[in-house]
Structure 1
Amino acid sequence: MKNDIFKECPIYTTNVIKLRLTTLEDAMELLKCYSDEKAVPLFNSDNCHGDDFHYTTIERMKEAVDFWQYSYEHRYFVRLTVILNSTKEKIGTIEMFNRESEDEFNHFGLLRIDLRSKYENQKHINEILQIVNQDFYKAFDVDSILTKAIPNAAERIASLQSKGYVPLDKKVMIYDDYYVRRNITN
């Protein structure tokens, strides 16, 4: 029987990071990420109903985590906290879901990566993408993964390209700057 990420979310690890389901206990440390004015422009807030993910109070951060937990429980998306193995520091989150739509990107995975600016570098992004590329096609039942990287996100773009993502060169809905990777094991 196939494992269901929405029933039991695995913990994913590399030598550098761990990804696990985001909890309310993460809110205080995640506020460092979501209040980081250098990081916020790199977050993908496309189609998020005006939320830019710039949170400056613990109350607002907790509201976001509550919504992420609600969304997980209702099978909309999975939000995972990115934790450094060496220090146990929570440096950001990622989100992933199987996109259901009436367009050509139906059943593509959509990946969002939110990291503190200090960790927006190839080392940490490569670690995230290693897990995504290895585990998320199967976990989310997708053959392709989309993720956004704005043109001045040089470190993110370099990581994406080194891990097999290519510019989509077309809009997703009304949004630009997407990269795509097809599952090469199929």
Structure 2
Amino acid sequence: MMNVYDSCPAFEDERFLLRFVKQEDADDLLKVYSDKNALPFFNSDNCDGDNFYYPDSDRMENAIDFWLRSYETKWFVRWTIFDKTISKAIGTIEMFHRIADDDFNHVGVMRLDVRSDYEISDILQVMFELFIPEAFALFECNEIITKIPVYAVERINAALKFGFIKSEKLLIGTNDHYAYNNYWTVNKDRSL
């Protein structure tokens, strides 16, 4: 089996390409992470106060540097999402295998961040279909969780269509010990 930290695979369909993040993505990703309308959909649980709002190039470049270092230390992987129809990065997907003393031990945690104009059910469902089936093996897990706030109606619709269910369990932050809610879960045998 491929070790995602030795070689990071790309995922592609006719419209979207997901590939390992690069510093050269900074200009396009600045449009994602400075988008105040996208910010409420980002999952910053247990991220030491970082809310993923990067209003300038320096902050965006520093974030990418951190993502690259995190990959080197095998903490998490961040893919850039390209819309090939406009030749632009429109978001990222982060994934890691979580080890914790709570109900979400040994699950994969997925963070999906897109520009607000891509927060559309059909597009989000394509992201799930393109990425999640491969992520179970890459991150050696049988369950993947993602945070979806109650107001994220497009994302909820996409998650339901893919096979996610809302969990009543709380994620306990390993850094801050705070109990986070609004997690949705999909098991390997329930996904497409």
Kindly report which structure 2 residues correspond to 1:12-161, keeping only aligned pairs within 5 A, or say none: 12-161=11-160
- Tell me the CA shift for residue 163 of structure 1: 0.1
Distance 1:103 1:42 in 2: 24
Distance 2:87 2:46 in 1: 32
Distance 1:97 1:166 in 2: 20
List per-residue Cα deviations over 1:47-100 (Å, max 9, x = no partner).
000000011010000000000000001100000001012222100101000001
Partner of 1:183: 188
CA root-mean-square deviation: 1.2
CA contact (8 A) 1:112 1:147 kept: yes
Distance 2:190 2:72 in 1: 30
Report the secondary structure of 2:19's partner residue: strand
Report the secondary structure of 2:90's partner residue: strand
Report the secondary structure of 2:125's partner residue: helix
- Tell me the CA shift for residue 123 of structure 1: 2.2
Distance 1:176 1:12 in 2: 29
CA contact (8 A) 2:103 2:170 kept: no
- Tell me the CA shift for residue 132 of structure 1: 2.5
The answer to which of 12-21 and 29-38 deviates more is 12-21
Kindly report which structure 2 residues correspond to 1:160-175, keeping only aligned pairs within 5 A, or say none: 160-173=159-172, 174-175=179-180
Distance 2:132 2:43 in 1: 19
Q: Unmatched 5+ residue regions in structure 2?
A: 173-178
What is the aligned length? 185
**TM-score, with length taken from structure 2:** 0.93
CA contact (8 A) 1:14 1:127 kept: no
Distance 1:168 1:43 in 2: 18
Distance 1:40 1:185 in 2: 29
Percentage of identical aligned residues: 37
List per-residue Cα deviations over 1:89-143 (Å, max 9, x = no partner).
1001010000011222111000001100000111221111002332100111100
CA contact (8 A) 2:163 2:190 kept: no
- Tell me the CA shift for residue 7 of structure 1: 0.6
- Tell me the CA shift for residue 185 of structure 1: 7.2
Q: Which runs of 4+ in 1 moved over 6 A?
A: none
The answer to which of 157-166 and 132-141 deviates more is 132-141
Report the secondary structure of 1:19's partner residue: strand
- Tell me the CA shift for residue 10 of structure 1: 0.6
CA contact (8 A) 1:16 1:127 kept: no
Distance 1:33 1:47 in 2: 21
Distance 1:136 1:113 in 2: 13
